[in-house]
Amino acid sequence: MKRMFEIIDSSDGKHAQKTLSDENETLRLVFNSLAEGVIVADKDGKFLFFNPVAKKILGIGSKNVTPQEWTSVYGCYYSDRITPYPSEKLPLARAINNEEVSNEIIFIKNPERPKGVYISVSANPLRDENGFVCGGTVILQDITERRLAEAALKKLSNAVEQTADSVIITNKQGIIEFVNPAFEETTGYNREEVLNQTPQILKSGKHNSAFYKNLWKTLLEGKSYRGTIINKKKNSELYWSEQTITPMKDEQGNITNFVSVLKDITELRQKQEQEFQLRLAQELQQRLLKANASLPGFDIAGATYSAVETSGDYFDFLSLSDGSLGLVVGDVSGHGIGPALIMAETRAYLRAFAKRESDPAILLTWLNQELAADLEGEHFVTLILARLDPQQNLLDYASAGHVPAYLLNGSGEVAHIMRSTGIPLGIIPNYKFNTGETLKLAPKDMMLLLTDGIKEARSPDGTEFGFDRTLDIIKNHQQQATAQQIVEHLYQAVRSFSKNQPQEDDITSIICKVNPD
What topology is assigned to 34-148 in CATH? Beta-Lactamase (3.30.450)
pLDDT for res 4: 35
For the residues 366-379, what does the mean pLDDT come to?
88
Q: Which residues contact 435 (CB under 8 A, 6 or more apart)?
A: 359, 360, 361, 396, 397, 398, 421
Residue 10, pLDDT > 50, answer no
What topology is assigned to 287-514 in CATH? Phosphatase 2c; domain 1 (3.60.40)
Residue 291, pLDDT > 80, answer no
Separation in Å, CA 40 to CA 118, 125, 139, 142, 489 = 20, 10, 9, 18, 97
Confidence grade of residue 308 (pLDDT, cut at 50, 70, 90): low
Phi, psi at 38, each rounded to 5°:
-130, 130
Residue 156, pLDDT > 60, answer yes
Q: State which amino acid sits at residue 154.
A: K
How many Å is the maximal CA-CA distance in the chain? 152
Residue 387, pLDDT > 90, answer yes
pLDDT for res 505: 85
| pTM tops 0.85 | no
pLDDT for res 20: 47
Exposure string over 382-397, b if 16+ CB within 10 A, otherwise e: bbbbbbbbeeebebbb
Q: Are 148 and 95 in contact (CB under 8 A)?
A: no
Q: Are 99 and 84 in contact (CB under 8 A)?
A: no
**Domain covering 163-264 assigned CATH 3.30.450.20 in the classification:** yes
